[in-house]
Amino acid sequence: MLLGQSLGRDEFTEAFTMSKFFIKTVLAFGLVIGLLLLLGKDIILSWLNLSSDALYPLASPALVVLCCAIWLRMLNMIIINGILRAGGDNHFCLRMDLIAMWVIGVPSTAFAALVLDWDFNHVYMLLLVEEIVKLSLCFHRYLSGRWLNNLTIAAH
């Protein structure tokens, strides 16, 4: 909302500065949350009330992957949903989601699970490839500044 207001006032330098602050804050917050989750892993796993001893070896490494990657997912959310879409870059976000998920994420994890017969933890870790592709595409778009648009001009 704040970013959209700056863009609507044609304050593009302020909007870009604000977006840098958001990215840095979310990155720091994501790293702290990931560390806290990692430190509290055993408590979190006890809350899951895993009824079978076979489930813990699956849940524990998956939680470690989640803890290590939460900053990446949070960063993608703020760049995609909070920054690029504030400037009306919805078409790019749609194409990027399509490419990252349906061209890279789903086929690579399906191939690893069904053809290569990788175990659950490795397939779950492979899901991060989609997030890395999203970050690379979106961060490049962010740095280009093509998202810095005043969407209120069309309303006049």
Residue 60: CA count within 13 A, CB half-sphere: 8
**Stretch 115-132: mean pLDDT:** 94
Structural tokens at position 156: 């006049």
Q: Which residue has the higher pLDDT, 153 or 31?
A: 31
44-48-51 Cα angle (round to 5):
135
Q: Over 80: is that where the pLDDT of 77 sits? A: yes
First CA to last CA distance, the chain: 20
Per-residue model confidence (pLDDT) at position 96:
94
pTM exceeds 0.75, yes or no: yes
Per-residue model confidence (pLDDT) at position 84:
96
Residue in this structure with the two tokens 């804050």, named with its chain if needed: 25
17-41 pLDDT tens trace: 999 999 999 999 999 999 999 999 9
44-63 pLDDT tens trace: 988 888 777 788 888 899 99
Query: DSSP states of 79-121 as a string?
Result: IIIIIIGGGT-HHHHHHHHIIIIIIIIHHHHHIIIIIS---HH
92-101 pLDDT tens trace: 999 999 999 9
